[in-house]
Amino acid sequence: MNIHKEKQVANGLDRELLSKLLAFAKPYWKKIVVAFVLAGLFVAATLVQPYLIKVAIDDYLTVESSLQESFQGFVIVGVLFLISVIGAAVLTYYQDRLLQFTGQSVIFDIREKLFRHLSKMHMQFFDRNPVGRLVTRVTHDTEALNQLYSQVIVNLVKEVLILVGIFIILINMSVTLTLISFTVIPFLIILVYFYKSLVRRAHRYTRLVLSRLNSNLAENLSGMRIIQFFTRERRQIRQFDHLNNEHYRAGMRGTVVNSIFNPAIGFLGNIALALIIWYGGIAVIDSALTFGVVYAFTHYIRQFFQPIMALADRYNQIQTAMASAERIFELMEEEPVIKDHPKARNFPRAVQGDIQFKSVSFAYVEGETVLKNISFHIRPGETVAFVGATGAGKSSIINLINRFYDIQAGAIEIDGMDIKKVKIADLRTKVGIIQQDPFIFTGDVIYNIRLHNDHLSDEDVKELTRSIGLEEFVLSLPNGYNTRLGEQGVILSSGQRQLISFLRALAFDPDILILDEATSNIDTETEELVQKALYRISEGRTTIIVAHRLSTIKHADNIIVMDRGEIRETGDHYDLLKQRGIYHRLYQIQNKESIMEKRMSGIGKGMKV
């Protein structure tokens, strides 16, 4: 946010922002209008009360009126007073209900729009925006807007109406007494002016410290395992304490400003009261004013100062809401970089799985090329493996096939069609990916495999699991297919998570299957199981495997060896060994490692015996 914008938001005057906020409230405008009418009636019902007491005192408590007249008058005034009190309560209730409904509905719409928008965003956006920040936008920031719609605006209108209403009533009752009691107004204006700038600064500082505290907390909680692993708890606690302390002090700064402002306003109000009693008292003695007028004045002046004291809260709420609105709209207006080409279409025929990379170059960050001039051709039904050192660019290639990222040069074609001309949704249903560390959602096993794929019945999921020999694994879980996984459920081991993701990818019956280090966390026994399943699944289906363990890709039709973003060797296992290049070296290293492992386990067993 630039400084100018920041200033506008701080002043709550950003017209563009206001018009966007109004646009969200537009579908509910009828309810809002009714709520404002009710608020106006509430103000009238409240303001009439002191006036009724004035009438009772001046017209029926005077010596001139007879006992019967007085009695009748008191009854009428009493009934009217009661009606106004009950009316005010009923009006507040309905107005509150209407606005709560409107606020909640608007926030529901904003939240939904925000989530839809986030679902369309490209991977680079998620690389840049930590999850904690996005969660804050969808929950905390929208809640701040809820307050704006359901409380702040209507209360502000009510308070302005009360101030204007009281001023009109007072002027009508006595111009002189009004002017005398309003001599405190210039002091009030000065006070409000200073308060505004102090509270703005305090508020901005609190927001800054809070976001620092939040990101520190989010990072520490997600990295708790590492913190405990390296016994860094004390240092992390100290760091958190420091930020917490800063937040406390920032909060106190705001509280101190408010605690000076509110009594100061109260003090000015009391001065105004004293002036009324002083001047009004003399005027009553001189019969220039009635006692009822002076009495009503004291009431109205007290009512007059209440909204001004509430100004502190109102101002804070508007500041928070405007800052939140700014952040929400900023997010909503960020265009997804990866979207359908205007002429994008679905694949015209069933996908055969022919993949071609034609001189592809790619960088995540401008200027830092990760893949350089990559070309290869995978024919339908082939199993192709990518190997290479860490950071060679294997996963990046995979990320490009289903357009998680777009390339900067060259072309990627599936069945002869440039993937940029294919509808993203169609492309992604044709390409199934099994990742190294798959995500498990809160829900049972069936839900996690099916993932809203309504074409699959429970029985279909079971049949699929059985067909690739993984049913035994599912049934070994505490509740079989109904075992709850994810946050509140069983925490699966990494290997078990991979098996679930394996089933998930297959449930979508993709034409192209990609395994990105998908067997790295699986033990040798389970790997055999997976290898068998894989063999069955990859038959007649283009399969791409990224693996560090060369034993898993030995049988691939073609192996592509990558090094620092470039293809260095290609061929099958035996060709590559003959070439005596990078692959041969990797193979030898891994062979030595596995011989060592076998020896070590032999020693281990020997020792046990």
Stated as kind and residue range, the H or E segment containing 387 is strand 383-388
Residue closer to ligand ATP by CB (options 428, 564) is 564
Q: Are 162 and 258 in contact, with CB atoms under 8 Å apart?
A: no
Residue closer to ligand ATP by CB (options 317, 436) is 436
| Short-list 362, 355, 373, CA closest to 338 | 362
DSSP strands (E only) in 447-581: 484-485, 512-516, 542-546, 558-563, 566-571
| Tokens matching residue 260 | 């000076």
* Phi/psi of residue 438, nearest 5 degrees: -70, 155
Residue closer to ligand ATP by CB (options 316, 399) is 399
Q: Are 181 and 272 in contact, with CB atoms under 8 Å apart?
A: yes
Question: How many whole angstroms separate alpha carbon 53 and alpha carbon 155?
Answer: 26
Give least dist CB 384 to ligand ATP, A. 15
Give least dist CB 401 to ligand ATP, A. 12
CA dihedral 30, 35, 37, 41 (to 10 degrees): 160
Give least dist CB 467 to ligand ATP, A. 30
Residue closer to ligand ATP by CB (options 366, 454) is 366
Q: How far is CA 545 from the centre of its chain?
A: 35
Give least dist CB 153 to ligand ATP, A. 42
Residue closer to ligand ATP by CB (options 39, 392) is 392
| Short-list 268, 247, 115, 119, CA closest to 191 | 268
Question: How many whole angstroms separate alpha carbon 540 and alpha carbon 555?
Answer: 15
Question: How many whole angstroms separate alpha carbon 583 and alpha carbon 559?
Answer: 9
Give least dist CB 126 to ligand ATP, A. 9
Q: Residue 242: which region, alpha, beta or left (left: phi > 0; alpha: psi -120 to 50)?
A: alpha
Q: What is the DSSP letter of 183?
A: G
List, in sequence order, every residue forming a beta bridge with 387; answer none if it has no partner.
561
Residue closer to ligand ATP by CB (options 309, 389) is 389
Give least dist CB 364 to ligand ATP, A. 3
Question: 429-445: buried (b, 16+ CB within 10 Å) or exposed (e) per residue?
Answer: bbbbbbbbebebeebbb
Give least dist CB 548 to ligand ATP, A. 6
Residue closer to ligand ATP by CB (options 299, 548) is 548
Q: What is the DSSP letter of 405?
A: S
Give least dist CB 585 to ligand ATP, A. 16
CB atoms within 10 A of CB 298: 16
What sign does the dihedral 315-321-327-330 (CA atoms) show?
negative
Residue type, 1: M
Give least dist CB 403 to ligand ATP, A. 14
* Phi/psi of residue 390, nearest 5 degrees: -55, 135
Q: Residue 547: which region, alpha, beta or left (left: phi > 0; alpha: psi -120 to 50)?
A: beta
Residue closer to ligand ATP by CB (options 55, 370) is 370
Give least dist CB 528 to ligand ATP, A. 23
Q: Residue 362: which region, alpha, beta or left (left: phi > 0; alpha: psi -120 to 50)?
A: beta
Residue closer to ligand ATP by CB (options 329, 362) is 362
| Tokens matching residue 234 | 């004390």
Contacting residues for 194 by C-beta, under 8 A, at least 6 apart: none
Give least dist CB 396 to ligand ATP, A. 3
Give least dist CB 547 to ligand ATP, A. 9
Any idea which residue has 């990101």 for tokens? 215
Residue closer to ligand ATP by CB (options 347, 404) is 404
List, in sequence order, every residue forming a beta bridge with 546; answer none if it has no partner.
386, 516
Give least dist CB 546 to ligand ATP, A. 6
Residue closer to ligand ATP by CB (options 365, 607) is 365
CA dihedral 492, 511, 573, 575 (to 10 degrees): -160
Give least dist CB 390 to ligand ATP, A. 4
Question: How many whole angstroms separate alpha carbon 550 and alpha carbon 541?
Answer: 21
* Phi/psi of residue 456, nearest 5 degrees: -100, 125
Residue closer to ligand ATP by CB (options 134, 198) is 134
Give least dist CB 437 to ligand ATP, A. 11
Residue closer to ligand ATP by CB (options 205, 404) is 404
Residue closer to ligand ATP by CB (options 178, 520) is 520
Residue closer to ligand ATP by CB (options 435, 483) is 435
Beta pairing class for 431-434 and 512-516: parallel
The CA–CA distances, whole Å, from 411 to 373, 376, 408, 416, 429 equal 10, 11, 9, 10, 20
Give least dist CB 371 to ligand ATP, A. 8
| Tokens matching residue 66 | 């007879």
Binding site for ligand ATP (CB under 6 A): 127, 364-365, 370, 388, 390-396
Residue closer to ligand ATP by CB (options 40, 495) is 495
What sign does the dihedral 26-29-35-36 (CA atoms) show?
positive
